[in-house]
Structure 1
């Protein structure tokens, strides 16, 4: 099975649109007349909509990847619960045990949402 692409990585396209949105914001405040401000703000609103659409498309793609991994996640959660219950037999280092249990609780909480 091929490795999935990094989840939640913003593509360069979104970064480029965000940079444009930010620079248009500066241009809006520097514009000297209302017509120029209206023009810039109209473009900013359109750019914002595009960024939102691209973010939603990226989220949809990542959700599909996550859902495809669901069987592995459930299997791993069972293993994590076993480690959690046996942690005192696995390590005697209290700090390590606490860190592992805390991390497991976070991951189990995330996995429970899907």
Structure 2
């Protein structure tokens, strides 16, 4: 009986495809200049693999002179362990979504 593939493996396949397309399009057509992933892409993925993927995304973006953008909760990010030569925290923008009367997202309140 064949085993079922985990969601984490399928998500990393999507990551690999996105990276390949980003590189190909950037090299041949100039590309959009950025690759963006939402944190759900890393659901079910081992934290070591998530850290490696973030480093790969950063390295790829540097190679094509683009940006690698990932939206991720700070609690999930704090569980990741990066190699000492890659200072991931220095590459983070500390954006905080404020859940208060004056808070919102892009000037809009969601009730």
Q: TM-score, normalised by structure 1?
A: 0.28
TM-score (norm 2): 0.29
Larger-Rg structure: 1
Task: From the two aligned structures, give the one with the greater strand fraction.
Answer: 2
